[in-house]
Structure 1
Amino acid sequence: MSRPIVIVGPTGTGKSDLALNLAEELGGQIVNLDAMQLYKGMNIGTAKVPQYERRGIPHHMLDVLDVNETASVADYQRDARDIVERIRASGQTPIVVGGSMMYYQSLIDEWNFPETDPSVRARYESRLEEIGVQALHAELAAKDPEAAKTILDTDPRRTVRALEVIELTGKPFAASRPTIGKPRWDAHIFALDMETSELDSRLEQRTRRMFEQGFIDEVRHLVPKGLRDGVTAKRAIGYLQVLELLDEFGDSEPTASAVEDALDQTFIGTRRYVRRQRSWFRRDARIRWLDANADATGSLVDQALRTVRKRS
């Protein structure tokens, strides 16, 4: 059966285009590896490839959750692994693409997740709402300093999960980390990156284009569908900033300067996330890095195919 191709790396580097091109070249199907693209209706803010641009190629693990549902790495692991197995059994190549770090790790490594307890998690989520993510992160640091070093004090989901795991297992959060070894299915793993200045420029343009394409209206449309009630979706980069914008102005139309500020904060948050992605993926020696700069020698698809055909 075909060895899957996994494409990861920082936001905005062209992962989706490469996945589509490889799927056409190799006869493949695409499996989403972006946590926020699991959500129905979160399209503009997640740069989800529209249906009409998918070239007739099957896409999986998109639009599987309502915005008031909580995304789960364990659920993703179970469902995505099953989909990859089915694609392989059909004789086609699974092409997994996205930048969500823990979802990537759950797919290709041995990772048995500690059970969750809704009452424990709800208690920490209530604490989060009460004191904020930075104060809750300080509580994590007091209980497990090593876990606090690996989780940003702006990351509410992982902070809550770490505290939950520590309480349920009685062990440090690191004890539940995956075992790193040969990737599942002996997958080809690629990551895209480019010069920071070029990527910053692309991210700024992309963020501005999001707002021009109706991002604020997308968020407005998702509010009555339960966006504010969810735990994960409402904190996605961009969605959080636009919700704060809508809260500030209520039924009034936001001013141009306020919209510009929300745009800037979204760009800053995205750039911060890119730094985390680079740091995470650079630690994985199994990854083959591809040059996504505009002046790179050879197209991304050619760079990838040379490795795939050499190793297959």
Structure 2
Amino acid sequence: MAARQPPVIAVVGPTGSGKSDLAVELALKLDGEVVNADAMQFYRGMDIGTAKITEPERRGIPHHLLDILDVTEEASVSEFQQQARAAVADIHRRGKRAILAGGSGLYVRAALDVLEFPGTDPGIRARLEQEQAEAGTAPLLQRLREADPVSAGRLGDARRIIRALEVYELTGRPFSSFMPSREYFQPAVQVGLAVDRDELRERLAARVHRMVDRGLLAEVERLDAAGLRRGRTAPRALGYAQFLKVLDGEADVTQAAEETIVATRQFARRQLTWFRADPRIAWLDWQDPALAAKAAALCA
């Protein structure tokens, strides 16, 4: 009989809570390797603004699915699902522990849960995008209410509304029917970092200021020259969208930093809401001196 595979480990929580550091500590304790599940850390060159873990900080632990896309390419959760599961299988096949780390909630669930992704049709999407450009979002949202009221009640921005209508036209099924149940694809353990929200707010502000000091504007300028604005995903990343305004003369560095702080805090709140809704996550105090040991005990 084949040996039973160990559970996949996922370290989750809001941005700035220390997921990358804990993942490395777990890898050192459990003979593991890390699989990135932060969608914006897929991009080559987006280092400062995503707080991408540096080579010294990795402490010799292999990291997978970092720097796999150019900024002009679109991140795909369905492609990530295949890549992450292949990386996990390879890590386990070599007798190591696979440790998923990241705050992109849907990407984490794509790797861990039974989750089906509908296909895409560029023609349908282009037509819907043209309709939205000509008539606005309201008519599309009304059409979605008639076809898929559940999704219409959940989705607010044009991009997601267009995607829901594309799926409905392509499959004949409402987009909401593809939403996942909380069923693991394979055995898994999720470790969540429980934060003090007021302290996290201050930490996020300080982190943005450090990013500015380390050259975030120069990084954005360099990526802009490499085609950042042509991408569908990368230019919307926290910090990058705000600092593109500096390059355009629409804001100064101080304004862009403050806008980034506000947007990052809002994102952290959304992450906490997402992860708190999953009862399978075991929450540990992010500042517990014994955090790594307690997390490792959960993953044994």
Q: TM-score when scaled to structure 1?
A: 0.87
| RMSD (Å) for aligned C-alpha atoms | 2.1
Cα contact 1:2–1:92 (8 A) shared by 2: no
State the alpha-carbon separation in 1 of the partners of residues 209 and 79 from structure 2: 33
Distance 1:185 1:117, change over 3 A: same
How far is the alpha carbon of 1:269 from its aligned partner?
A: 1.0
Cα contact 1:219–1:239 (8 A) shared by 2: yes
**Helix, strand or coil for the counterpart of 2:100?**
strand
Aligned match of 2:245: 244
Cα contact 1:12–1:202 (8 A) shared by 2: yes
Distance 1:39 1:124, change over 3 A: farther
Cα contact 2:16–2:203 (8 A) shared by 1: yes
Distance 1:55 1:177, change over 3 A: same
> May I ask how many residue pairs the two structures share in their alignment?
295
Aligned match of 2:179: 177
Aligned match of 1:210: 211
Is the counterpart of residue 286 in structure 1 residue 280 in structure 2? Answer: yes
Q: Determine which of 106, 125, 128 is the counterpart of 1:121.
A: 125
Distance 1:138 1:130, change over 3 A: same
- Aligned runs of 1:92-107 on 2, under 5 Å? 92-107=96-111
CA deviations over 1:200-257 (Å, ceiling 9, x no partner): 01101111111111011101001121111011111111111111221226xxxx7xxx
CA deviations over 1:144-163 (Å, ceiling 9, x no partner): 44224433x3x554343223
Distance 1:48 1:138, change over 3 A: same
State the alpha-carbon separation in 2 of the partners of residues 303 and 68 from structure 1: 41
Cα contact 1:116–1:165 (8 A) shared by 2: yes
CA deviations over 1:8-49 (Å, ceiling 9, x no partner): 111111000000111111111000000010111111111100
Letter in 2 for 1:28: G
**Helix, strand or coil for the counterpart of 2:248?**
helix
Distance 1:52 1:127, change over 3 A: farther
State the alpha-carbon separation in 1 of the partners of residues 49 and 134 from structure 2: 27
How far is the alpha carbon of 1:167 from its aligned partner?
A: 2.6
Q: Determine which of 42, 50, 65 is the counterpart of 1:46.
A: 50
Between 1:299-308 and 1:283-292, the stretch displaced more is: 299-308
Q: Determine which of 41, 63, 85 is the counterpart of 2:89.
A: 85
Cα contact 2:17–2:193 (8 A) shared by 1: yes
Aligned match of 1:33: 37
State the alpha-carbon separation in 1 of the partners of residues 56 and 196 from structure 2: 31
Aligned match of 2:266: 272
**Helix, strand or coil for the counterpart of 1:184?**
coil
Q: TM-score when scaled to structure 2?
A: 0.91
The percent of aligned pairs where both chains have the same amino acid is 46
State the alpha-carbon separation in 1 of the partners of residues 132 and 29 from structure 2: 47
State the alpha-carbon separation in 1 of the partners of residues 140 and 107 from structure 2: 22
CA deviations over 1:136-183 (Å, ceiling 9, x no partner): 8855764544224433x3x554343223213322332211112322x2
Letter in 1 for 2:162: V
Cα contact 2:91–2:98 (8 A) shared by 1: yes
State the alpha-carbon separation in 2 of the partners of residues 82 and 137 from structure 1: 37
Distance 1:265 1:131, change over 3 A: farther
Letter in 2 for 1:95: I
State the alpha-carbon separation in 1 of the partners of residues 46 and 25 from structure 2: 24
Cα contact 2:6–2:187 (8 A) shared by 1: no
State the alpha-carbon separation in 1 of the partners of residues 213 and 128 from structure 2: 37
CA deviations over 1:28-72 (Å, ceiling 9, x no partner): 100000001011111111110012321111110000011001110
- Aligned runs of 1:105-254 on 2, under 5 Å? 105-126=109-130, 138=141, 142-143=145-146, 144-151=148-155, 153=156, 157-181=159-183, 183-248=184-249
Q: Give ranges in structure 2 of 5+ residues lacking alignment.
A: none
CA deviations over 1:245-274 (Å, ceiling 9, x no partner): 21226xxxx7xxx21111111111111111
Aligned match of 1:58: 62
State the alpha-carbon separation in 1 of the partners of residues 202 and 140 from structure 2: 32
Cα contact 1:9–1:192 (8 A) shared by 2: yes
Distance 1:237 1:126, change over 3 A: farther
Cα contact 1:234–1:240 (8 A) shared by 2: yes
